[in-house]
């Protein structure tokens, strides 16, 4: 059996295959990150509903670290900061959430309500 | 399956969404703590001494404010509230007890009808010796004093009102109508001054202003209006002395 040198066309097909595989792996990694982040977010919601805000804050911070494109994680994190009176941190998280999803009416509404309190304390 | 009734269709869609776990938000109550502006840790007691007040003869704003603030502080602050007769500061100025620097006779003191008239009395609060003496008398508390203007106000202008109209078939609808009206009410301008009872020096001061206007057919007593206006000022006052919690609702997302 003799091995012939690969032609340009074969090389092109191989390269395309590698790119597709790479993209697939990337998208799978992204899906995994989102799925992990969602688990953290959902757990955070359950504990926040039970009044365990410190744990909720930790979970939502983890979610935001795992998937920094997940607006819900930043929105919830902002709410937890608000509940702890950490208004500057809350503002940063709300702004990150809005940067990720500028048209999300619920994040906007939370942010507007937060701003009312924040502006009141700022003006003092 | 066809659903003719849109309300039923919406309800059904909602049920399906709920059943499949598609609801991706949760409303949750939050309590945001707002830190007190003033560090009151050196004090264990507070004396709401009295205020220089004027503007209306229908309400004694000094007495009412002292009572209201003391009752609020008793329930919403850790400081022990001192019970003492409210100080009639204007009378004390006239009797030269406070030692205000006067260029003319005591009788010439301006009657308080505007915020400018109050400015004259501001020197009362700078009399360190006087307030130190008061502080010693009450075992060095945090002293709350200041000025109050509670005055009637009249304003004319266009007001949007809703008017009921009925069409030829007797169907009712509400339409907005702009009408020119004269409205009467009150303004409440308060300046709180916080004095260190140990030294007699002013620690900080904070001013607030509220106003309410009513339609002419509404006969609102001055005292009711005063309390309505104080509803807006009291939380801000309390937040100077103690950490307050602002209750609200937020939406958690999944």
**Closest approach of chain A CAs to the CA of B39, in angstroms?**
14
User: Across residues B204-226, what is the average pLDDT?
Assistant: 90
Q: Do B252 and A109 touch (CB under 8 A)?
A: no
Q: Kindly determine whether residue B252 and residue A75, on different chains, have CB atoms separated by under 8 Å.
A: yes
- pLDDT over 70 percentage in chain B: 85
Specify the pLDDT at position B119.
82
Q: What is the pLDDT of residue A58?
A: 97
A124 vs B: CB within 8 A: yes
Question: pLDDT averaged over chain B?
Answer: 84
Contact B32 A82 (CB under 8 A): yes
How far is residue B98's CA from residue B25's CA, in Å, rounded to a whole number?
Answer: 61
Range(s) of the domain holding residue B66: 43-154+184-253
Among the residue ranges A55-59, A99-103, B56-60, B79-83, the one predicted with the least confidence is: B56-60
Read out DSSP for B72-102? HHHHH-SSEEPP-PPP-HHHHHHTTSS----
Closest-CA residue of chain B to A43: B254
Portion of chain B with pLDDT greater than 90, in percent: 50
What lies within 8 Å, CB to CB, of A104 at 6+ separation is: A71, A75, A97, A98, B253
Kindly state whether residue B150 falls inside one of the protein's structural domains. yes
Q: Average pLDDT, stretch B92-116?
A: 66
Domain ranges of chain A: 8-122
- Alpha carbons B89 and B84: distance in angstroms, whole number: 14
pLDDT of B87 higher than 70: yes
Q: Which of A95-99, B14-18, B40-44, B207-211 has the lowest mean pLDDT?
A: B14-18
Residue B129 lies in a domain: yes
pLDDT given at position A123: 56
Q: B153-175, pLDDT tens digit by residue?
A: 888 878 787 888 898 888 888 88
* pLDDT reading at B238 higher than 60: yes
Contact status of A35 with chain B (Cβ, < 8 Å)? no
Q: What is the pLDDT, as a whole number, of residue B10?
A: 38
How many Å lie between the alpha carbon of A42 and the closest alpha carbon of chain B?
A: 6
List of chain A residues whose C-beta atoms are within 8 Å of the C-beta of residue B31: 83
Give the residue from chain A lying closest to B206, CA to CA. Answer: A124
A105 touches chain B (CB under 8 A): no
Measure Cα distances from B187 to B59, B151, B218 in Å.
13, 5, 17
ipTM of the complex: 0.77
Q: What is the pLDDT of residue A40?
A: 96
**Top-confidence residue, B178 or B51:** B51
pLDDT at B243 over 60: yes
Please report, for the domain that includes residue B191, its CATH number.
3.40.50.10610
Q: Which residues pair with B247 in a beta bridge?
A: B31
Backbone φ and ψ for B33, nearest 5 degrees, come out as -80, 130
Average pLDDT over residues B51-57: 91
Touching check for A46 and chain B: CB below 8 Å? no
Partners of residue B251 in chain A, C-beta under 8 Å:
75, 106, 109-110
Beta carbons of A113 and B248 less than 8 Å apart: yes
Chain B residue numbers with beta carbons less than 8 Å from the beta carbon of A124 are 37
Are A48 and B248 in contact (CB < 8 Å)? no
Q: Which residue has the tokens 């500028």?
A: A102
pLDDT at B6 over 50: no
Provide mean pLDDT across the span B30-53.
92
Instruction: Indicate the pTM of the whole model.
Output: 0.64
**What residues contact B77, with CB distance under 8 A and at least 6 apart?**
B46, B238, B241, B242
Residue A118: its pLDDT value, please? 81
Per-residue pLDDT of chain A (124 residues; tens, 9 = 90+): 445 565 666 555 655 655 555 555 556 667 788 899 999 999 999 999 999 999 999 999 999 999 999 999 999 999 999 999 999 999 999 999 999 999 999 999 999 999 988 877 765 5
pLDDT value, residue A12: 58
Answer yes or no: is B171 within a domain: no
Residues of A with Cβ-Cβ distance to B24 under 8 angstroms:
72
Q: What is the model's pLDDT at position A88? A: 92
Class (C level, CATH) for A8-122: mainly alpha
Of residues A19 and B88, which shows the higher confidence score?
A: B88
- Number of domains making up chain B: 1
Write the pLDDT tens digit of every residue in B107-144: 566 788 888 888 888 888 999 999 999 999 999 999 99
Q: Is B18 a member of any domain?
A: no
What mean pLDDT do residues B4-22 have?
44
In a domain, B163, yes or no: no
Q: How far is B242 from chain A (nearest CA, A)?
A: 13
Q: Look-up: residue for tokens 């109550």?
A: B29
**Residue with more model confidence, B181 or B234:** B234
Across the interface, whether the CB atoms of B32 and A75 are under 8 A apart is answered: no
Residue B35 lies in a domain: no
Query: B247 is written with which tokens?
Result: 């209750």
Q: CB contact, 8 Å: B25 with chain A?
A: yes
């Amino acid at each position: 059996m003799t091995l012939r040198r690969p032609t340009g066309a074969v090389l092109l097909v191989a390269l395309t295959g590698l790119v597709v595989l790479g993209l697939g792996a990337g998208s799978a990694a992204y899906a995994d990150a989102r799925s992990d982040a969602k688990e953290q977010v959902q757990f955070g919601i359950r504990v926040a509903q039970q009044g365990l805000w410190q744990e909720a804050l930790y979970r939502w911070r983890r979610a935001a670290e795992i998937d920094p494109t997940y607006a819900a994680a930043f929105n919830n994190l902002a709410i937890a900061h608000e509940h702890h009176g950490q208004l500057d941190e809350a503002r940063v998280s709300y702004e990150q959430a809005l940067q990720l999803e500028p048209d999300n009416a619920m994040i906007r509404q939370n942010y507007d309500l937060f701003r009312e309190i924040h502006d009141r304390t700022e003006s003092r | 399956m066809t659903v003719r009734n849109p309300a039923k269709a919406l309800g059904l869609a909602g049920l399906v969404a709920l059943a499949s776990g598609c609801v991706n938000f949760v409303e949750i109550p939050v309590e945001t703590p707002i830190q007190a502006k003033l560090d009151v840790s050196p004090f264990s007691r507070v004396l709401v001494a009295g205020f220089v007040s004027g503007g209306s003869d229908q309400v004694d704003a000094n007495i009412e404010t002292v009572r209201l603030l003391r009752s609020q502080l008793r329930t919403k602050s850790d400081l022990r509230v001192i019970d003492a007769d409210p100080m009639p500061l204007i009378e004390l100025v006239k009797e030269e007890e406070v030692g205000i620097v006067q260029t003319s006779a005591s009788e010439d003191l301006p009657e308080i009808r505007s915020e400018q008239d109050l400015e004259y009395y501001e020197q009362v609060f700078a009399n360190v010796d006087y307030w130190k003496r008061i502080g010693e008398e009450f075992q060095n508390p945090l002293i709350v004093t200041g000025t109050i203007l509670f005055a009637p106000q009249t304003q004319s202008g266009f007001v949007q009102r809703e008017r009921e109209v009925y069409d030829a078939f007797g169907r009712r609808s509400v339409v907005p109508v702009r009408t020119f009206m004269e409205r009467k009410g009150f303004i409440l301008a308060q300046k709180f001054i916080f004095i260190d009872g140990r030294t007699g020096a002013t620690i900080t001061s904070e001013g607030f202003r509220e106003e309410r206007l009513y339609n002419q057919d509404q006969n609102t007593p001055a005292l009711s209006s005063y309390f309505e206006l104080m509803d807006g000022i009291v939380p801000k006052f309390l937040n100077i002395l103690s950490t307050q919690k602002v209750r609200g609702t937020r939406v958690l997302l999944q």
